[in-house]
Amino acid sequence: MRMTISLDELLGDEVRRDPYPFYARLHEAGEAVALRPADPHALVVHGYDAVNGVLRDPVFRVLGADYLDRAGVRWRQHQVIRILQSSMLNAAEGDHLRARHLFSQALTPRRVVALEPAIGRIADRLLAGLAADGADGRPVDFMARFALRLPSDVIGELLGVPEADREWFPSRVRAFDAVLEIGRRSMREVRAANVAAAELTAYFTDLVAARRARPRDDFVSALLRGLAAEPGRLSADELLANLIIMYNAGFRTTANLLGNGLVLLTERPAARDALRADPSLAPSYVEEILRYEPPVHFAVRYAAEDTEVAGLPVAAGRTVVVLTGAANRDPRRFPDPDRFDPSRADNRHLAFSAGPHYCFGAALARAEGRLVLPRLLDRFPAPAVEPGPRRALMLRGYDRLPVRLTDRASCQTNPIE
């Protein structure tokens, strides 16, 4: 008899705190399981091959405006949803390709490489601030003081956001992103997200106007040059929506990568010390962190026509929950998947999704992790996460992460002794 689960079970506090035992149960049942008839989705897809297949299959589509209209969702009254539907995140296939082509032309590998010195400078400045905050032995909140601020500053550097404005973004990004969590949102959260959406739209409207008047060597100016060469490729609303989503995505993904990475390395001193001794290992560490504790655990897709996944039927119009976080722990794809192993071979995880909606900012996130983790361990050779409950959310990672930091100077042996 096939296994059936409920959405409430998937979204329960126990699973959110530690989803991996639940994922292991799912893997014992195959590649996908049915949800109960009363649930809004048809299936949970969790096996690596099935998840990879759904993300690449043109039959399965993002929940765009056409889907929401057919479902009777009154989404146009919420600015946050209008932005999501105008962006690459939920745009229909043709609209998605138009926007992705333009943004990919502006975010070239060369631009990412050119940003690396700035990433290093920003990391060093924030690490110095951490050292000052924790100099008396008090724990510091790694998420608030470093993991959230670094990607905010880096994406700000990329987009040409003035340094003085960058601390303005994190609270608005958190409010905006609350609507992306799976499950129902309270009206309070939706209202806060709408306010954040309006403020972000106003900010980027002014930034675009400033770059039209005085172009610079930044990403927004490069986008505007691309639009000038191909008039009509994006509407004004699409341009602003995609800038907001790009800022938010670049901000949250890397913050979760850094927070997850710090916890994993403090729990594994041998792996931590190996990376500190040989920073060239950082790329493989980043990939294993992304596989083992991905920044985002799920996506939702709907079937444009009758189809099936792993032998389970999905009727046209029904949605499926795609658990990329579970796929990254599939024992059929990754030997000993619950072991953190930075030397893992063939580590093609799905942390950045797959298919047409593969994260086009993945190269930047990888660069930040590769450059920052060795710097962090060089400055603080033996960081320690404070004991206590830490809520690992399936989308947003750690809200707080109190850490005691040991400066490298205090770890040196006194040769006189």
pLDDT at 416 over 70: no
Burial 395-410 (b: 16+ CB within 10 A, else e): bbbbeebbbbbbbeee
Give CA–CA dist 303/58, Å, rounded: 9
280 three-state secondary structure: helix
Per-residue pLDDT band for 417 (boundaries 50, 70, 90) equals very low
CA angle 373, 378, 384 (to 5 degrees): 75
Give CA–CA dist 290/362, Å, rounded: 11
* 65-75: pLDDT as tens digits: 888 888 877 88
Rounded to an integer, the average pLDDT of 391-407 is 67
The pairing of beta strand 319-322 with beta strand 402-404 = unpaired
Are residues 312 and 326 in contact, defined by beta-carbon separation less than 8 angstroms? no
Structure tokens at 160: 């040409």
Between the alpha carbon of residue 70 and those of residues 62, 64, 88, 182, 314, the distances in Å are 14, 10, 20, 20, 17
DSSP H helices in 169-300? 169-177, 187-213, 219-229, 236-266, 269-277, 282-292
Taken as a whole, the chain contains a residue count of 417
Please give the pLDDT value at position 3.
Answer: 83
Give CA–CA dist 7/228, Å, rounded: 47
pLDDT at 92 over 90: no
45 three-state secondary structure: strand
Please give the pLDDT value at position 348.
Answer: 97
Please give the pLDDT value at position 352.
Answer: 95
Are residues 51 and 323 in contact, defined by beta-carbon separation less than 8 angstroms? yes
pLDDT at 391 over 70: no
pLDDT at 388 over 80: no
Give the chain's largest Cα–Cα span.
77
Residue with tokens 């990888």: 366
Rounded to an integer, the average pLDDT of 103-132 is 94
Give CA–CA dist 236/190, Å, rounded: 24
pLDDT at 273 over 90: yes
pLDDT at 22 over 50: yes
Rounded to an integer, the average pLDDT of 234-256 is 89
Please give the pLDDT value at position 413.
Answer: 34
pLDDT at 393 over 50: no
Give CA–CA dist 80/83, Å, rounded: 5
